[in-house]
Chains A and B, each alone.
Chain A
Amino acid sequence: MNTETLVSAAPVPPLMEDRFANGADSILRFPFPFEGDSYNYTVNLRKAGQGARGAFDEHWFDVDEHYVAEMELREKVLAHDPERYQALPHMMEHQWDTLELIMEKYSTDYPQHFELYRDGKRWTWKNKLLNLEDTFSFGDERTLPREPLDYITRQAQGDWVLMDERDNDLSMDAGMLTFPADWSLKFDLGMSFEEWHGPVPMAHEAGVFKRAKQFLMRIQPAEPWQRFNWTMTIGRRWDASVEMYHQWGVDRTSITPENVGQKVHLRVEVQVLPRLRRSHGLLFQIRTYLISLDELVTNPAWAKRLRRVLQSLPEPIADYKGLTRYKDTVINWLSPYEDGV
């Protein structure tokens, strides 16, 4: 048996530790999500793109040192499973809105990497990081190599979900989702807001989703909002999708006091929610950041706070996030950072 062939036929390298290791600067600007010492499920909304210079939220859509690695990994995931990209037929206007917004923001916020030239409907887009240049007619999908959303999100960090707003509800009707935390766009496509949040425990009773939805539906184009979401992932595993559960689910049983610092990662999603201009849809960018506990404890205040949050985490939430099997190992490993203050 030729084991070499088997290895090279694996669709996606399970871990890309080296390419996604965080440099000192990435650790410094990591979006540490906890504002207090205990777990509290709130919508934690704030205006997007108002962070300090160089911070993860300086701009609407963050581009960082992992840009090229993340885009190459996205291509590999899509080559193996093209259904990570989904768009219902009524979403074409939302797709163009999204393409425009990403091109406009990237070229304005990162002019050293991206350029956009508009001559009426004739647009030229240059992506110097991926060495791409395309000229197309805005609004005419025949002039692009792929559908507009597919085209632009292969060049834009983070996962992207497009919601249509109708009948006083939000509906998940298109998206590019290669790096989800234990969910699937193909499964959720077409669901309403409360439907796709169905699995989240405790929050429905607290009325969180009803209010969150009303809030989102009041967002206007010039003023996007952002919120944090977080979980934990074993290894620097970007594609923790339901589709790949058979590969990563078992990893959660492998955590020992010896490997916890290297293997367990805090996974933070900075979710940015801009209103789309022509379609009046809502864009939902899920910008994921992974940091190993070894990297995280270089900031002892983060280590102490993470430990306290994990200690206060209600059981149903820990189960939902998939932390139950190794949460206590993490808490014990972080105990040197608890100074009692």
Chain B
Amino acid sequence: MKLHLVETAMQGPRVKTFRFQPVEGSGPLPAYSPGSALRIHLPVGEKGLWNSYSLTSNPWVDDAYSIAVRREDESSSKGGSIYLHDRAKPGDVFEVEPPVNRFALSRLAAKHVLIAGGIGITPFLSYLPVIAGRGQSVEVHYSYRGGDNSAFTDWLYHFVNRYCRVNVYDTTVNHRMNLSLILGLQSAGAHVYVCGPASLIEAVRQTARDLGWPASQVHYEHFSQADERPRRPFAVMLQNSGREVQVSDSESLLEALEREGVPVTHSCRIGGCGSCEIAVSAGQVEHRDHCLSEEDRKAGCSMIACVSRAMNGQLVLKL
């Protein structure tokens, strides 16, 4: 769908907010849940760029989509945030995909502990009003590198009351979170959410594991969505018939087997449902599915034919 950029505002020296509304005549924007993200197409480079940003507004009170973007350094960026900061202006039209949520708020948590590193604060901007509206307890722990990166602290302080605590940490003066203490002090039934650099996410997950937190109460935002590994050609040997099937770089194993008339039960074709699981008797699998468990993968005895491939050029299948 197409959206109009209607307003921008600086939130400190490095973070800018952008507010979008539907173009004339296209009806109201689809609502979304706290933690949702918006994929937006930016005219950068030859093909353009799809970037994903957390929505920071509240769909119950707002008829617009808002995002907050940190201007990345030229050296560490593909140019998306720089385009938004330097070139995008009110009136511009952008192509976006409907919001998706991979970082949802648990509705019945006894308490929410929100841990943010830098611009990782953005999903929590949509969490906080909802948590406050439900009258649930919340703690915010927000660390940043120096005052230039401390966007939204004033906004956060507005929520402080007997049910909401906000702690900020400036790592440039060596003020750091004590994760063992933060997580160790929580009662059973609390949920922790972490968004920020991979090192912070890993530290929170590790600390929670060490303290015996149930995995279902530890939430983290995945940053990399798309699988950017190259699709390489490989060969499979079908052990029951002795046939060999070549899988080119432009097709999946499932497609190659269908082409050769080898029937495989299948359903979703996006690596999600597990219908096209095939037993593997030799060779290392490059797993790209979302349905096999860690144990399944370690055992190495099966693969999901619609997405997964061979690590080293060939596999032997029990087909």
Contacts and interface: CB of A to CB of B under 8 A. Distances in A.
Interface of A: 40, 42-46, 90, 97, 100, 118, 120, 139, 164-169, 207, 211-212, 214-215, 218, 220-222, 225, 275-280
Contact of B267 (A44, A278, A279): A44
B33 A220 contact: no
A276 to B, nearest CB: 8
B31 A278 contact: yes
Interface string B263-293: 0010110001111000000000000001100
Given A211-B273, A220-B101, A166 B107 contact: yes
A40 B265 contact: yes
B246 interface: no
B28 interface: yes
A118 B28 contact: yes
If over half of B's interface residues share one DSSP class (helix, strand or loop), that class is named, otherwise mixed; here it is loop
A17 B273 CA distance: 38
B104 A168 contact: no
Contact of B268 (A100, A168, A215): A215
Contacts of A222: 30, 97-98, 100
Contact of A167 (B63, B101, B217, B265): B217
Contacts of B30: 221-222, 277
B155 interface: no
Given A90-B108, A215-B273, A277 B267 contact: no
B275 A278 contact: no
Contacts of B181: none
Given A90-B107, A118-B28, A278-B32, A45 B273 contact: yes
Contacts of B60: 139, 278
A279 B34 CA distance: 8
B167 to A, nearest CB: 26
A44 B266 CA distance: 8
Given A43-B273, A45-B268, A167-B217, 20 more contacts: A42-B265, A42-B275, A43-B267, A43-B268, A44-B275, A45-B267, A45-B273, A45-B275, A166-B108, A215-B273, A218-B290, A220-B100, A220-B101, A221-B100, A222-B30, A222-B100, A276-B33, A277-B30, A278-B59, A280-B105
Contacts of B299: none
A45 B270 CA distance: 11
B77 interface: no
A277 B33 contact: yes
A223 to B, nearest CB: 9
A100 B60 CA distance: 13
